[in-house]
Amino acid sequence: MTDDLPYRTGVGMMLVNPEGRVLVARRSDIDPPAWQMPQGGIDKGETPTSAARRELEEEVGTNKVEIVAESDCWLTYDFPADLRKKAWKGRYRGQRQKWFLFKFTGSDGDIMLDAHNAEFDEWKWIEPDELPILIVEFKRGVYEDVLAEFSGALDRLRRDGPP
């Protein structure tokens, strides 16, 4: 029974550029390819904050960021049945994540998807309201919650705009 399975604990990162657009990347390891914001696991001994910084650097190749906000709660999503069997050998029902909003302080040239083990094969900046439309259905609720929680901070970042 899937309800007996635990959630994998991890972090999610919303990276926002000076124009207020959000970075999404296309996963190259699933079929069909899917867009998402960077996310990853928390290693033993790591805090959620240090895991988010490490995962961001591993997945998109940059540490040119400033933390703007952290989600108040842990957000969860369940894997669909077909993915649950493949992901982490069926040990988890889904993921439990702490989310972070990062302001990107670098340039597009600082984004390097192959800086570590490449999970993504393409990336782009999108408007925040495009996230729920672009994301796979089983993560949509988490993305809507992240957008709602970070809406005030996103508005401030957009209002402040590029230097």
Q: Which of 91, 103, 107 is nearest to 7 (CA)?
A: 91
Kindly state whether residue 124 falls inside one of the protein's structural domains: yes
Kindly state whether residue 161 falls inside one of the protein's structural domains: no
The tally of domains found in the chain comes to: 1
Q: Does residue 13 contact residue 25 with C-beta atoms inside 8 Å?
A: no
pLDDT in the model for residue 33:
76
> What is the DSSP track for 81-113?
HHHHHHGGGGT-SEEEEEEEEEEE-S-GGG--T
Please state whether beta strands 7-16 and 94-104 pair in parallel, antiparallel, or not at all (unpaired). Answer: parallel
* Statement: residue 163 has pLDDT above 70: no
* Statement: residue 108 has pLDDT above 90: yes
- The confidence band for 116, taking pLDDT boundaries of 50, 70 and 90, is confident
Kindly state whether residue 159 falls inside one of the protein's structural domains: no
Kindly state whether residue 163 falls inside one of the protein's structural domains: no
Kindly state whether residue 160 falls inside one of the protein's structural domains: no
Query: The domain that contains 75 carries what CATH number?
Result: 3.90.79.10
- The confidence band for 2, taking pLDDT boundaries of 50, 70 and 90, is low
pLDDT in the model for residue 47:
97
Kindly state whether residue 117 falls inside one of the protein's structural domains: yes
Span 64-101, pLDDT tens digits: 999 999 999 999 999 888 877 776 777 899 999 999 99
Range of the domain at 7: 2-153
- The confidence band for 162, taking pLDDT boundaries of 50, 70 and 90, is low
User: pTM of the predicted model, to two decimals?
Assistant: 0.91
Kindly state whether residue 158 falls inside one of the protein's structural domains: no
Q: Which of 83, 88, 91, 93 is nearest to 136 (CA)?
A: 83
* Statement: residue 1 has pLDDT above 70: no
Q: How much is the mean pLDDT over the chain?
A: 90
32-43: b or e for each residue (b if 16 or more CB lie within 10 Å)? eebbbbbbbebe
Q: Kindly give, in sequence order, each residue whose CB lies less than 8 Å from that of residue 24, ignoring residues fewer than 6 positions away.
A: 35, 36, 37, 123, 124, 125, 126, 131, 134
* Statement: residue 62 has pLDDT above 90: yes
Kindly state whether residue 162 falls inside one of the protein's structural domains: no
Q: Kindly give, in sequence order, each residue whose CB lies less than 8 Å from that of residue 80, ignoring residues fewer than 6 positions away.
A: 138
Higher pLDDT, 2 or 18: 18
The residue count of the chain comes to 163
